[in-house]
Amino acid sequence: MSSLVTALGQVSSNKSGLKELSKVKDTDDAAKILSKWSMELRIMDVHERQWVKKVLPCMIEGGNLHKWSLAYQPSMDINGLIYDVDDPKYIYNWTWDQLVKSLSTTGMWKRPDLQKNINAIHSAKCEEDADGPRIQQYIDKFKIDYQLVSAQRLYHIVPPEAAAYCLFNGLPQYFKEHMNRRTAPGPYQNVRTDMESLLLEINMTMQDSSCAGEMASKGRRAMGVATEIKKPHPQGVDRRDHSTSERLATTLQSRAVPTQLPR
């Protein structure tokens, strides 16, 4: 099975000014909390290797998340020194994938809707004009759906090869064209069947200057559209209301009775 994945989260640059992660005490939906933290960590541009260390202080003492984490905390001597600080079994040294996998076996993890996850894999589709962050969001969403299906060993329904194909097939066409610049022409140019190799290829393509430039251009275009939609009409009047008012005034003026009768 391919490596476990980060919880779904929206990828974004750190232009939002987000300074700290959300604090959580009790939860009955750990997947939702991980998704929220994942989103915030990406916004803050924190490297994934540091994610577990960043979220541990956000588990409020006394809550079920914090109590759960205590079982994986290292022991200390009478002087407060930690034994075997680099031991991989301690939660401080976990990867994000390990955190997701461990929490998924607890009562804080809601049972997945496998039919929904399977359908999401087979019908996966990223927006055609998606920029880098939105492509990464699509990949994150796909991977967590695949993780939940794989955890139930439903390989006969979604084989790893089929999952890799679906992920690649759902990418924007322009992005796949950048990927295919590195592959030999032929019947298998638009087919990918190895998830690990595919994720590596996607990462390399995102770092390619030509592709990165096109992704940035789409991001600027999307930002410009969003700004235009939010831009208020001069004098705070809605365009539609303004034009309607003008038409109404013209109609009333044409129907007005002359104030002076002709001689």
Per-residue pLDDT of 112-129, as tens digits, reads: 788 998 999 999 999 999
pLDDT attached to residue 62: 94
120 plus 144 within the same structural domain: yes
**Pair 1, 93 in one domain:** yes
Please report, rounded to a whole number, the percentage of residues in the chain having pLDDT higher than 70. 73
Q: How does residue 36 score in pLDDT terms, banded at 50, 70 and 90? A: confident
Is residue 103 in a domain? yes
Q: Is residue 194, in this structure, part of any structural domain at all?
A: yes
Q: How many structural domains are present in the chain?
A: 2
Average pLDDT over residues 21-30: 91
Q: Where are the alpha helices (DSSP H) in the chain?
A: 30-43, 51-55, 64-70, 96-103, 114-122, 132-151, 160-169, 173-180, 195-207, 209-230, 239-255
Least confident among 53-62, 82-91, 121-130: 82-91
Q: Are residues 93 and 136 in the same domain?
A: no
Q: Which of 50, 81, 111 delimits the end of a domain?
A: 111
* 149 and 121 Cβ atoms separated by less than 8 Å: yes
- Of 65, 90, 111, which residue is a domain's last? 111
Letter for the amino acid at 237? V
**Rounded to the nearest 10 degrees, what angle do helices 30-43 and 96-103 cross at?**
160
User: Residues 134, 179: one domain?
Assistant: yes
Task: Look at the alpha carbons of 97, 99, 104, 110 in this order and tell me if their dihedral is positive or negative.
Answer: negative
At 235 the pLDDT is 55
Out of 8-22, 26-40, 61-75, 133-147, pick the least confident.
8-22
**Any idea which residue has 């991989």 for tokens?**
88
Residue 258 confidence (pLDDT) above 60:
no
User: Looking at residue 219, what is its pLDDT?
Assistant: 82
Question: Does residue 133 share a domain with residue 193?
Answer: yes
Higher pLDDT, 88 or 77: 88
Provide the whole-model pTM: 0.57
Q: What average pLDDT does range 186-214 have in this prediction? A: 92
Together in a domain, 220 and 192: yes
Same-domain check for residues 25 and 121: no
Separation of alpha carbons 205 and 187, rounded Å: 21
State the residue range of the domain holding 162.
112-225
**Above 50 in pLDDT, residue 149?**
yes
152 part of a folded domain: yes
Out of 25-29, 35-39, 168-172, which region has the weakest mean confidence (pLDDT)?
35-39
Region of 245 (left: φ > 0; alpha: ψ -120 to 50; beta: rest) is: alpha
Report DSSP state, residue 3: P
Q: How confident is the model at residue 231 (pLDDT cuts 50, 70, 90)?
A: low
Do 42 and 121 share a domain, yes or no? no
Nearest CA to 150 out of 102, 98, 101 is that of: 101
In a domain, 216, yes or no: yes
If you ran DSSP here, which 8-state letter would residue 12 be given?
-
Model confidence pLDDT, tens digit, residues 6-18: 333 333 334 445 6
The pLDDT score that the predictor gives to residue 94 is 93
97 and 117 part of one domain: no
Q: Is 192 within a domain? A: yes
Final residue before a domain boundary, out of 83, 111, 139: 111
Whether residue 11 is contained in a domain is answered as yes
Q: 137, 9 in Cβ contact below 8 A?
A: yes
Q: Are residues 103 and 123 in the same domain?
A: no
Percent of all residues in the chain with a pLDDT value above 90, rounded to a whole number: 39
What is the average pLDDT across 84-113? 85
